[in-house]
Structure 1
Amino acid sequence: MTSAVERPLLFLDVDGPLIPFGSPSGPPRSAAAEASAPADQGNPLLRRLDPGIGSRLMALGCRLVWASTWMEEANEVVAPRIGLPKLPVLEWPENGAEAVPRGLHWKTRPLVEWADGRPFIWVDDEISAMDRLWVAAGHPGRSLLHHVDPAKGLDDADFLTLAAWLGAVAPG
């Protein structure tokens, strides 16, 4: 049973939720932010990261976990750009998508195993109805599988949804 003081987990994908695909230039940045930003390291999509989104994620009060194919690179490249500390990284099984039932995202099983009954939010742009059914049937804790529009990335409406769920699951 989950203790009352344990913070819910928030499994975070990078491509789509943090790096939106719809805006060619990303959020507007101040000259100071642009000057202090790390180099793109060969990935022009990194310019689309919102440097303020890390503080918004931290303010949710969850235990943040990378759930992305970026793996440890999310800590090295993404986290410093958005103001996040080094986060735990969900490791993916070697066989990946090969052993997944049709319609189920290859991340779903490892994510639920890592949560180990604890309440969690999964923020991703590839969540399906099958993932929701599988988690509802196989995860004893509370969960929110939150689909993010990959053209926009995490926005104010998404943060309102996350905060409302957290308020109901972990009030105070």
Structure 2
Amino acid sequence: MARTKPQNVCVRAGSKPPLLFLDVDGTLLPRPAAAPSVEEIDWSAWQQPTNPALSGLTRVLGDRLLGLGCELMWATGWGDDANRVIAPILGLPQLPVARLPEYPGGDYYDDELHWKTRTLVSLAEGRRFIWIDDEIRQQDMAWVRGNHCGRALLHRVDGFRGLLDTDFAVLTEWLLAT
């Protein structure tokens, strides 16, 4: 897979709202403590409206996400299914979907970067952005600092707890400081 370095063109900070790249699994849908390994999950069933984990989603969460004032974009392996299944439950409009590279069979490439990192920085095109995910690591944060000229917050959520009030406090504080 060819990997290109993202363009390093910055957009004036105040010209557009920040992007918010939103993961689903582990972020909006916490993993149960007895969750099978990623390899054992039947993803075709997991991404259906009948998934029992969806019962924890509410419009309040959707309102809180919209209330951040960011341009929301799905950054998830759910792809277009996030708009079909998740968005209506949260009361979100149809959101743009980040076209991610093919899942490499593990969450990290050989160079230790998460499989979404390069794509999201490229999509940001120098704009301020937030990436909320349960798999972000220090390597991703360091790479973004060195390859993205705009402000960025890579916020790791506890995948067994999902997005909480404390996470929203961090997001809001960062947005107020930008």
Q: Using the TM superposition, give the Cα deviation of residue 93 of structure 1 relative to its aligned residue in structure 2, in angstroms.
A: 2.2
Cα-to-partner distance string for 1:125-153 (whole Å, 9 max, x where unaligned)? 00001100110110111000000011111
Aligned to 2:169: 160
The 5 Å alignment of 1:103-122 reads 103-122=112-131
TM-score (norm 2): 0.80
Kept in 2, the 8 Å contact 1:18–1:153? The answer is yes
The aligned runs of 1:84-103 (5 Å cut-off) are 84-94=92-102, 96-97=103-104, 100-103=109-112
User: Does the 8 A contact of 1:18 with 1:50 survive in 2?
Assistant: no
- Runs of 4 or more, structure 1, over 4 Å off, are none
User: Could you say what secondary structure the match of 2:21 adopts?
Assistant: strand
Q: How does 1:1-172 map to 2 (within 5 A)?
A: 1-3=10-12, 4-22=14-32, 41-94=49-102, 96-97=103-104, 100-169=109-178
Distance in 1 between residues matched to 2:157 and 2:59, nearest whole Å: 18
Conservation of the 8 A alpha-carbon contact between 2:101 and 2:115:
no
Name the CA distance, whole Å, in 1 between partners of 2:86 and 2:22. 12
CA distance in 2, matches of 1:166, 1:23: 32
Letter in 1 for 2:136: I
Name the SS for the 2:139 alignment partner: helix
- Higher mean alpha-carbon deviation, 136-145 vs 1-10, is at 1-10
Aligned-residue offset at 1:23: 7.7
Identity level (%): 50
Q: Is the 8 A contact 2:74 2:82 kept in 1?
A: yes
Question: Is the 1:53–1:82 contact (alpha carbons within 8 Å) kept by the matching residues of 2?
Answer: yes
Where do 5+ consecutive residues of structure 1 fail to align?
25-39
Q: Which one-letter code corresponds to 1:162 in the other structure? A: L
Q: How many residues align?
A: 153
Change beyond 3 A, Cα 1:165–1:61: same
Which amino acid letter does the alignment assign opposite residue 15 of structure 1?
Answer: D
Structure 2: tracts of 5 or more residues without a match = 1-9, 35-47
* Alpha-carbon shift at residue 41 of structure 1 (Å): 2.9
